[in-house]
Amino acid sequence: MNYTIEEIKNKVDAVYDTVVSMRRHLHMYPELSEEECETSRFICQQLDLLGIPYEKDIAGHGISAVIYGKNRAHGVGLRADMDALPIEEKVEIPFKSKNPNIMHACGHDIHTAILLGAAKILNEMKDDLPGSVRLFFQPSEETIGGARQMIEAGCLTSPAISSVLGLHVDSSTDAGSVELIPGAMNAACCEFTVVVTGKACHGAHPNDGIDALLPACTMVSSLQSIITRRIDPAESVLITVGKFNSGTKENIVSGEAVFSGTMRALDMRNMDKLKTYLTDLCKSTAAAYGASCSISFSGSYPTLENDPKLFDIVMKTAKAVLGDTHVKLTVKPSLGADDFAFFCHESRGLYYNIGCRKPGETDAYPIHSELFCPDESCIRTGILTQVASVLHILKEEEKTW
């Protein structure tokens, strides 16, 4: 398995146009989390053409495929998420979304296309691969966390997957470059919902009821005191309330108020503290106003921490195939969350960003924007770094099998 950098680049160039066409098809027909039926069907069709065996309908519409190398019992994994967002696209391009109010505004169409391109190349190399390669086409990243469900379904076994790589587009970095972050890259995240219960009554006689709106507003305005007074100020934590509903009519004292949001922390121990402090604050505030409340937590993602050995391998590989000037190192993590974190906790994981900003552009729209429009040349960068990194990792891990 001694492919030169030029040989790998030539293979990437050979599949590039086809992969771009795949990406444009996926972009035109985006599907929301847990609804990726046609997306899954399209991926299966491509795997059938390549002759790559797979299992489908995992964790909903997820697909787990395997390229078997010389060692069929051990291997590494590559992951791509494939769900879209409930956003109406406003970018005027020939392959604009045809599904109303749904858009690949987070680049998952690019992630999926890159993985299909890498699969084609690695499949051509399979007789030379010292180990196998598992391909994770993962659903529901934007909602329930399909990664955890795929792991629970046994996708890290048979072959045993010791390392998993993933990538994400980044519109703050030029296409042709990658960005790597050592250690903690993304925060742990947990959603919460608070239901405040009072007693509705006529607005002219508030003393006959218990206003649920008043304690709920006090809770929302007081939550930030947890960040500023209960948590070490040197730690990175966030509480965000994004939704608030209360009341039915302007002259009725509200009998119920419901608000929800997210909590984020780079240290999992702080997530436990946030849950405790939020619960205590809300219950005591409700009691002070004569109301009651219930708090529920859901959708918890752990911290995404990059494995140091994989970090060194991918950093070295990226510099070799892209050049030192196209590899960015940053120590500033994001408080955004990604369920790739589950792969990092169940195996060794490495997540990195690929630039998708047009070179020279200074005001590219960010992900989750209705005007997000990545430079498709980032696809070449993604395939190149994924394939080269897999070859390097397999060579290193072969020594331990």
Active-site residue 301, yes or no? yes
Q: How many CB atoms lie within 10 A of CB 335?
A: 16
| CB within 8 Å of 5: residues ≥ 6 apart | 320, 321, 388
Assess contact for 383 and 15: CB atoms under 8 A: yes
User: What does the alpha-carbon distance between residue 88 and residue 330 come to, in Å, rounded to a whole number?
Assistant: 33
| Burial (Cβ within 10 Å: 0-12, 13-18, ≥19) of residue 127 | exposed
Residue tagged active-site, from 277, 301, 351, 352:
301
Upstream peptide bond of 159 is cis (omega within 30 degrees of 0):
yes
Sign of torsion, CA 227 366 82 8? negative
Of 162, 205, 192, 187, the C-alpha closest to 313 is 162
Residues noted as catalytic: 301, 376
